[in-house]
Amino acid sequence: MSELKVLLSRQQIAERVTEMAKQITADAKGEPLLFVGVLKGAAIFLSDLVRQVEVDATFEFIAVSTYGNRPTPTQELRHAWDSTGEVKLTKDVDQSLRGKNVILVEDILDTGLTLTFLKRLLQGHQPKSFRVAVLLDKPSRRKMPVEADYTGFQIPDEFVVGYGLDYAERYRNLADICVLRNGTSTNEN
């Protein structure tokens, strides 16, 4: 049996995303922005964010895979999640980032290994500016010294699902962000 407990309600998320969009709009100073979302977790956050940004904006999606111990039904969620640091790009951008004002959009900043990899990779495309927006940040888990420019919420070291975030591809469609506690099985209905 899985246990879901609401950590951030849909109202809290909506209010914070609106604030982030206002800040991003102000910082853009009228220049166009190119948002680059990391699939699949950031898709919902990106779609809510870009619709509230009041400058000319386009978006792209990239995808990465991490070789690590994604939680499995036989492992405890809290301790099982740990990446090895080997991140691989599995889907690249379809347009050049050169000379553009790029905002990388991530669902959650955890150890920082994924963001460190992506920052290095995307900055190599020589954008005009490069900023990072993350919805969630677990600062206590950080292994790499990397921070986002825009952070929605700092959260404790809990495994969360919903609003795009999954556990074995489930729960992405939950409107709230919930803590998923042990006892989860991928076979459950």
Q: Shortest approach of ligand 5GP to residue 178 CB, angstroms? A: 10
Task: Report, in Å, the least distance between residue 111 CB and ligand 5GP.
Answer: 3
Nearer to ligand 5GP, 101 or 114 (CB): 114
Binding map of ligand 5GP across residues 98-117, x = CB under 6 A, - = no contact: --------xxxxxxxxxx--
Binding-site member from 159, 163, 174, 184 for ligand 5GP (CB under 6 A) = 159
For the residues of the chain, what is the DSSP string, one character each? --EEEEEE-HHHHHHHHHHHHHHHHHHHTT--EEEEEEETTTHHHHHHHHTT--S-EEEEEEEEEEEEE---TTS-HHHH-EEEEEEEEEE--SS--TTSEEEEEEEEESSSHHHHHHHHHHHTT--SEEEEEEEEE-GGG--S----SEEEEE--S--EEBTTB-BTTBSTT-SSEEEEES---TT--
- CA within 13 Å, CB half, 161: 20
41, 57, 118, 152: which one binds ligand 5GP (CB under 6 A): 41
Question: In the complex with ligand 5GP, which residue's Cβ is closer, 17 or 113?
Answer: 113
Judged by CB under 6 A, the number of residues near ligand 5GP is: 19
Which part of the chain contacts ligand 5GP (CB under 6 A), choosing from 13-21, 49-57, 93-101, 156-164?
Answer: 156-164
Q: Which residues are known catalytic residues?
A: 110
Whichever of 111 and 184 has its CB closer to ligand 5GP, that residue is 111
Residues in the site for ligand 5GP, rule: CB under 6 A?
41, 81, 83, 106-115, 159-161, 165-167
